[in-house]
């Protein structure tokens, strides 16, 4: 302490000799005529990942043989983020990243067993099946300071940094052969990262693969890929979905619609700009949807639901993926196995009036292009359209596009009768007027809008009022709001035949009207007249829009 005090004293004495007033002028005074010049230097976060030895994992393996260490790829990851970064990996087959098929090796043959699943078998089992696996390792250059740039290989299946308990648990590490993940999974991380030297130096992360070929595997060339992605610690897990061209910004911190919960909803909404669009994916099928925080303060889909209902009894929906079992604050255990067949094109057995059993229809990749439907048969035919069942089905080429490059907001989506829209096999027991059934075919965390006497926040009417709807005239003061924010298309209806596409839009609510009817909302061809509390038989196939609970 004595030498420290002497040192400070020496500094003060020295500066005093340079300027006799230096100590007195250390406080800024209004009597002084001074200027202060400040300089700030911002060093942006810069990270990269690259690889050498890519696409060289080739092996000829005979039936009944296990082969390890198939090829080596060296990954170089550099980042100046003091909080470090993580590396995620996922199987990547064809154009699919993530999903049930992405971690397979697929053969060029069309034979039934032209697939090799990911697994850890090294010899014939029961049954004798082929499989392949991946492994990571850390290598370090001799000139690198031990531990300075070291990665940590993560334990699976955890996607967060492994705790001490997890490290001591009997979990497989990616430093051993491991099943190739079929969704993005954290495989390595670094707690701090300030090395931005060239990509030939520092610590390297290497990958290699192994495969066992069963005695019955058909001769072929089997191919697959693994994608490695560098992610900042504050960023979300990488998305396994492709964003819609109409809304390329992902909701911050989320991948799936089912990720919205009562605990994070307010935070998510606070980080969103009103009427600005983002995207999320439906975990049930990976399809992506544009979503927006609209003027009523809720998060809405701005596209029609396009989920294909599997109705052969092979698929059961539960409360983890679908809006089932809501108890007012959270989801209780519930499930639904759709019982009837999805309808085919021009299916005249579709029942519009008395049907209280589930029916749905997928029209394919159809888009309304924003044009209004010609009002008479001659105009429709002149536009090279189709006029079938005069006055009933309208399908004009100037009003519908089949191109998948159409505006995603105008995608017709699927049509659902009301029983399917509320995820039931038989809705006949639900008869009380203005009863909200409070479940739906929407993703978990989302629900159908309210209607009927329910005009509170969360209803169609409440939303429309926020954008200038006049309840006395049924008119929108600003019809352009459909394209600017809400984006309800004129998707028509399905009633065994396509009807009214480019003339009207119809959207189910979750509210009962009678033993055979339910409430819906409609917009007309000019999209200026809006009727949010309409009544129709439950059998009609209408569009579905969902909002977050």
Domain end, chosen from 231, 251, 274, is at 231
Domain annotation covers residue 1: no
Domain annotation covers residue 32: no
Give the pLDDT confidence score for residue 293 in this predicted structure. Answer: 96
Structural domains of the chain, count? 2
With contact defined as beta carbons under 8 Å apart, do 424 and 336 qualify? yes
Instruction: Tell me: do 161 and 74 sit in the same domain.
Output: yes
Instruction: Tell me: do 223 and 246 sit in the same domain.
Output: no
Give the pLDDT confidence score for residue 458 in this predicted structure. Answer: 95
What is the distance between the alpha carbons of residues 187 and 228, in angstroms, rounded to a whole number?
Answer: 9
Compute the average pLDDT of residues 456-474.
Answer: 92
Which domain, by its residues, includes 513?
Answer: 241-549
Domain end, chosen from 231, 251, 266, is at 231
Give the pLDDT confidence score for residue 164 in this predicted structure. Answer: 39
- Average pLDDT score over the chain: 78
Domain end, chosen from 205, 231, 257, is at 231
What are the residues whose beta carbons fall under 8 Å from the beta carbon of 246, sequence distance 6 or more? 277, 290, 407, 408, 409
Whole-model pTM: value is: 0.60
Domain annotation covers residue 14: no
Beta-carbon count within 10 A of 225 CB:
17
Q: Which tens digit of pLDDT belongs to each residue from 141-186?
A: 544 444 445 678 886 543 333 343 433 344 468 888 999 988 888 8
Q: How far is CA 421 from the centre of its chain?
A: 21
> Is 84 exposed, middle or buried, given 0-12, 13-18 or 19+ CB atoms closer than 10 A?
middle
Q: Which tens digit of pLDDT belongs to each residue from 60-89?
A: 999 999 999 999 888 877 777 777 788 889
Instruction: Tell me: do 61 and 147 sit in the same domain.
Output: yes
Three-state secondary structure along 359-408?
Answer: CEECCCCCEECCCCCCCCHHHHHHCCCEEECCCCEEECCCCEECCCCCCH
What is the DSSP secondary structure assignment for residue 526, as one 8-state letter? T
Give the pLDDT confidence score for residue 236 in this predicted structure. Answer: 61
Give the pLDDT confidence score for residue 193 in this predicted structure. Answer: 61
Give the pLDDT confidence score for residue 537 in this predicted structure. Answer: 93
Q: What percent of the chain has pLDDT over 70?
A: 73
Give the pLDDT confidence score for residue 356 in this predicted structure. Answer: 87
Give the pLDDT confidence score for residue 106 in this predicted structure. Answer: 86
What is the distance between the alpha carbons of residues 505 and 491, in angstroms, rounded to a whole number?
Answer: 5
Is 331 a residue whose pLDDT tops 90?
Answer: yes
Q: Which tens digit of pLDDT belongs to each residue from 24-45?
A: 444 555 567 888 899 989 877 7
Domain annotation covers residue 18: no
Instruction: Tell me: do 271 and 223 sit in the same domain.
Output: no
Choose among 509, 494, 505: nearest CA to 368. Answer: 505
Instruction: Tell me: do 204 and 292 sit in the same domain.
Output: no
Confidence of residue 393 (pLDDT cuts 50, 70, 90): very low
């Amino acid at each position: 302490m004595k030498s420290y005090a002497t040192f400070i004293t020496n500094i003060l004495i020295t500066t005093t000799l340079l300027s006799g007033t230096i100590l007195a002028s250390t406080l800024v005074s209004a009597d002084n005529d001074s200027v202060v010049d400040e300089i700030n230097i911002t060093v942006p976060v810069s990270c990269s990942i690259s690889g050498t030895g890519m696409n060289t994992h080739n092996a000829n393996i005979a039936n009944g043989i296990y082969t390890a260490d198939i090829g080596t790829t060296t990954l170089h990851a550099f980042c100046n983020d003091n909080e470090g970064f993580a590396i995620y990996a996922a199987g990547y087959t064809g154009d699919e990243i993530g999903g049930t098929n992405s971690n397979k090796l697929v053969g060029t043959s069309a034979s039934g067993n032209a697939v090799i699943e990911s697994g850890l078998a090294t010899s014939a089992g029961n049954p004798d099946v082929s499989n392949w696996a991946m492994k990571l390792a850390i290598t370090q250059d001799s000139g690198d300071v031990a531990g300075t740039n070291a990665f940590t290989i993560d334990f699976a299946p955890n996607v967060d940094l492994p705790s001490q308990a997890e490290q001591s648990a009997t979990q497989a590490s990616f430093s051993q052969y491991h099943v190739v993940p079929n969704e993005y999974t954290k495989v390595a991380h670094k707690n701090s990262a300030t090395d931005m030297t060239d990509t030939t130096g520092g610590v390297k992360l290497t990958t290699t693969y192994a495969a066992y070929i069963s005695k019955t595997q058909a001769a072929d060339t089997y191919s697959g890929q693994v994608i490695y992605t560098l992610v900042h610690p504050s960023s979300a897990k990488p998305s396994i979905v492709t964003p819609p061209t109409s809304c390329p910004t992902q909701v911050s911190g989320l991948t799936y619609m089912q990720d919205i919960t009562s605990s994070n909803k307010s935070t998510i909404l606070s980080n969103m700009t009103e009427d600005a669009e983002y995207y999320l994916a439906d975990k049930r099928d990976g399809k992506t949807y544009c979503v927006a925080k609209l003027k009523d303060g809720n998060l809405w889909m701005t596209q029609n639901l396009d989920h294909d209902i599997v109705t052969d009894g092979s698929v059961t929906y539960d409360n983890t993926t679908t809006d089932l079992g809501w108890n007012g604050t959270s989801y209780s255990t519930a499930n639904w196995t759709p019982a009837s067949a999805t309808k085919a094109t021009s299916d005249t057995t579709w029942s519009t009036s008395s049907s209280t059993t589930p029916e749905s229809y997928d029209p394919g990749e159809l888009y309304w292009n924003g044009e209004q439907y010609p009002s008479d048969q001659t105009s429709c035919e002149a536009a090279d359209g189709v006029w079938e069942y005069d006055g009933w089905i309208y399908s004009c080429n100037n009003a519908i596009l089949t191109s998948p490059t159409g505006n995603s907001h105008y995608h017709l989506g699927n049509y659902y009768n009301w029983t399917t829209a509320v995820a039931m096999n038989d809705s006949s027991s639900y008869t009380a007027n203005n009863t909200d059934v409070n479940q739906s075919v929407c993703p978990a965390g989302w629900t159908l809008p309210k209607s009927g006497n329910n005009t509170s926040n969360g209803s169609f009417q409440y939303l429309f009022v926020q954008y200038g709807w006049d309840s006395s005239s049924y008119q929108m003061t600003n019809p352009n709001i459909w394209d600017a924010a809400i984006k309800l298309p004129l998707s028509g209806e399905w009633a065994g035949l396509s009807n009214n596409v480019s003339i009207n839009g119809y959207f189910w609510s979750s509210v009962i009207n009678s033993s055979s009817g339910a409430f819906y909302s409609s917009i007309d061809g000019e999209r200026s007249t809006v009727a949010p509390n309409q009544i129709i038989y439950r059998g009609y196939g209408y569009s579905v829009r969902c909002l977050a609970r």
